[in-house]
Structure 1
């Protein structure tokens, strides 16, 4: 997002008549085991559809707020966050170490990280803006901390990479940027923003999206439209997004708000249409807006307990994040439990092994199960145990909280009463197989 925008009048419905709806076959990226595009849909590393439901966070200006902000965004139900980074052209560079920290924080909070280079905003119209080529230079600088993170990270080449001047260069510039990153070994899903300050009122991205997609040797590019004042009616929202879906092209709403200085976007239509078409969206923005658009803060003063009206709408309203968000498959926990009894009739010990069969390392866990009626837990080791009636919850201790993928941890309980193997177990609410 840019704090000041001037837009030409556009007639998107008239433009539709000039664009043929020829389906595009979007095959899976062969080299990547992370996110990829399949038949016009974004799928995660588990092969399941993934629909972005998240917000933007202005990390480059508020790096000290990022850790808590990501945790708060996750707690409100988001499955993803688009993180503002700087290449160093306009603002202080976020170097490789900082980017690695951001990715790590996203993974701790089980959020998909969409990383974007913000310095390209309004190129051709803003004299100090970076080109897409310069943005690629930046991604190559931080490549060492991004390669291997394809399951968790989507690379957004550059924010709103052309303003309202020189936007005809968008197609070639975008093709060139994709080509350079692929040649350099980037296997990530790449996200490309539209020109015209992200709003594509000229139809440049819309008309040339098939050619840009085809230029990617991995066929693993997603298009991003920013919906502000140009999209002030349901008809415009539905027609634009539908034109991509009809052609089998992957599209997300990378930014949108409930109001803006350039006009009043129809946020209800944006969210409803995205839900109906199973398309992703990322609201602008968590907190810290300035330059006259402070009203776009979702949380007042970075305080998750003080959501603005916009924040309440996005997170808790119809078609909102809480109602529609699903966590990425790579973060879903998997587990198996081995339960060994040493039973002497009037009591027993149980040695319980928790094995992590999921896609993500565990950092702290809670295991729930039921004991036979009339039994009482006397003591436990390597876990803290609470009992309410037959229900037992074992919580990891500091020395048993970390369980790597494929790893296991054991704890035990001493119980008064007749022993039996519980019928079921759940780890942090996820049912576990019995080993």
Structure 2
């Protein structure tokens, strides 16, 4: 959205609305994960976001807002941060304090970098790659917080110009974080100031999700979404495709149109879709009506604040606290997924039995310092594979440098390969294969493979 926050300086900042890289490792789902188009918390329970955005980076002294947002019923707060490219950088110690405030108030923390807003159209905005640089600088703060933190890569990363590389740029950003060992659920915003009126995110979401299956998509709904038909069609297409979607920002009105917030909230509630309203307080530049409370005072709810917190399908009526904050989580659910389990593993006991598989590893070419290998995956029982994962540990310091026909991730000696879309289904009596190039020194022994379907 455009022009939202008045900074506490002489200038009002008008904010506009708005590989060879290794792929996602199959790791222990120690935090949030996605399965069947839904978000689950670390206890294996569905989690539906109900919360608001808070402009922390411009109002860093308003730390009491976390408790006040919680007191009005929210289970999530989306926190605005800056990488330092446009505004004052939020330091690691500041971000650590934000996370501690979320946890102290039993809120799930969605952290977002705002400096990307409107890239390609706003000359002051920075690309997603700069946001990734910022997240990497926070690795020591964020790693280990996967149960409480979701990373929103960059706010509204393209405006209405030069957004054609949204898909590749988003995948590259996801892969850089995964390669660096980030295991959090990652949230990606749509282009077109977050409103995706060109359907760039909608039509390419499956490509992004195939690259990283612990990703959720965020649509910002302002004037583009002023009718029930537009809202239900957009969100419905994600639900039909089994892709996770959240309304990452919305208001009750805006300079570009009268938002149909009633449909956003009712449809989201009926379909288990999260929503995060914009914003708690501090808006300026002509959109002060988007404040939910006046001057950060929770006892002074605006009409928009009354609507989103206390209205039909509002936060107070529908929010459920994440079970990671409960002393006794609901019975019959796991308290964590086993080590080595992909983050996309469903937890329902009603799923059909898993298919088994075996995998073979062959060095098909070798030269000083380098080699080529092929791995074949074969069903081991009477059921076809509907997706597979192969993992191994290199014993002699080998490294994967290039791969094909699989999504491959390396973390130290550990390597994990997952099927891509075209070779995930493997009928009994047949095999799927993938290959890679690697480096070696001294010894290039064949590892022992672990295969799961």
TM-score (norm 2): 0.68
Hey, what does 1:428 align to over in structure 2?
none
- Once the 2 structures are TM-superposed, how far is the Cα of residue 6 of structure 1 from its aligned partner? 8.5
- Once the 2 structures are TM-superposed, how far is the Cα of residue 42 of structure 1 from its aligned partner? 0.2
Hey, what does 1:137 align to over in structure 2?
133
Q: State the alpha-carbon separation in 1 of the partners of residues 286 and 93 from structure 2.
A: 32
The answer to whether structure 1 residue 185 and structure 2 residue 190 are counterparts is: no
Per-residue CA deviation, residues 265-284 of structure 1 (Å, 9 max, x unaligned), is 10000000100111000000
Cα distance change on mapping 1:28 and 1:177 into 2, 3 Å: closer
Q: Is the Cα–Cα contact under 8 Å of residues 51 and 315 in structure 2 kept in the other structure? A: yes
Alignment counterpart, residue 316 of structure 1, candidates 310, 329, 334? 310
Hey, what does 2:36 align to over in structure 1?
39
Q: State the alpha-carbon separation in 1 of the partners of residues 91 and 25 from structure 2.
A: 31
Cα distance change on mapping 1:272 and 1:37 into 2, 3 Å: same
The answer to whether structure 1 residue 228 and structure 2 residue 217 are counterparts is: no
Cα distance change on mapping 1:29 and 1:283 into 2, 3 Å: farther
- Once the 2 structures are TM-superposed, how far is the Cα of residue 28 of structure 1 from its aligned partner? 11
Secondary structure at 2:295 match in 1: helix
Aligned residues: 315
Hey, what does 1:2 align to over in structure 2?
2
Secondary structure at 2:161 match in 1: coil
- Once the 2 structures are TM-superposed, how far is the Cα of residue 32 of structure 1 from its aligned partner? 2.9
Q: Is the Cα–Cα contact under 8 Å of residues 222 and 251 in structure 2 kept in the other structure? A: yes
Q: Is the Cα–Cα contact under 8 Å of residues 2 and 16 in structure 2 kept in the other structure? A: no
Cα distance change on mapping 1:205 and 1:110 into 2, 3 Å: same
Hey, what does 2:385 align to over in structure 1?
none
Q: State the alpha-carbon separation in 1 of the partners of residues 28 and 225 from structure 2.
A: 37
Structure 1 residue runs without a partner (length 5+): 8-26, 336-357, 360-435
Structure 2 residue runs without a partner (length 5+): 4-13, 18-23, 330-334, 337-453
Q: State the alpha-carbon separation in 2 of the partners of residues 139 and 50 from structure 1.
A: 24
The answer to whether structure 1 residue 50 and structure 2 residue 30 are counterparts is: no
Alignment counterpart, residue 282 of structure 2, candidates 288, 292, 313? 288
Q: State the alpha-carbon separation in 2 of the partners of residues 168 and 311 from structure 1.
A: 36
- Once the 2 structures are TM-superposed, how far is the Cα of residue 57 of structure 1 from its aligned partner? 0.1
CA RMSD of aligned residues (A): 1.8
After TM superposition, list the pairs within 5 Å mapping 1:180-219 onto structure 2. Answer: 180-216=176-212, 219=213
Per-residue CA deviation, residues 114-162 of structure 1 (Å, 9 max, x unaligned), is 0000000000011110100000000000111000000000000000000
Q: State the alpha-carbon separation in 1 of the partners of residues 197 and 324 from structure 2.
A: 36
Per-residue CA deviation, residues 249-297 of structure 1 (Å, 9 max, x unaligned), is 0000000000100111100000001001110000000000011100000
After TM superposition, list the pairs within 5 Å mapping 1:16-415 onto structure 2. Answer: 30-65=27-62, 67-216=63-212, 219-334=213-328
Q: State the alpha-carbon separation in 2 of the partners of residues 117 and 50 from structure 1.
A: 23
- Once the 2 structures are TM-superposed, how far is the Cα of residue 29 of structure 1 from its aligned partner? 6.0
Q: State the alpha-carbon separation in 1 of the partners of residues 225 and 248 from structure 2.
A: 14
Q: State the alpha-carbon separation in 2 of the partners of residues 71 and 253 from structure 1.
A: 23
Question: 4+ runs of 1 displaced by more than 2 Å?
Answer: 4-7, 27-32
Q: Greater helix share, 1 or 2? A: 1
Q: State the alpha-carbon separation in 2 of the partners of residues 81 and 28 from structure 1.
A: 28
Q: Is the Cα–Cα contact under 8 Å of residues 35 and 44 in structure 1 kept in the other structure? A: yes
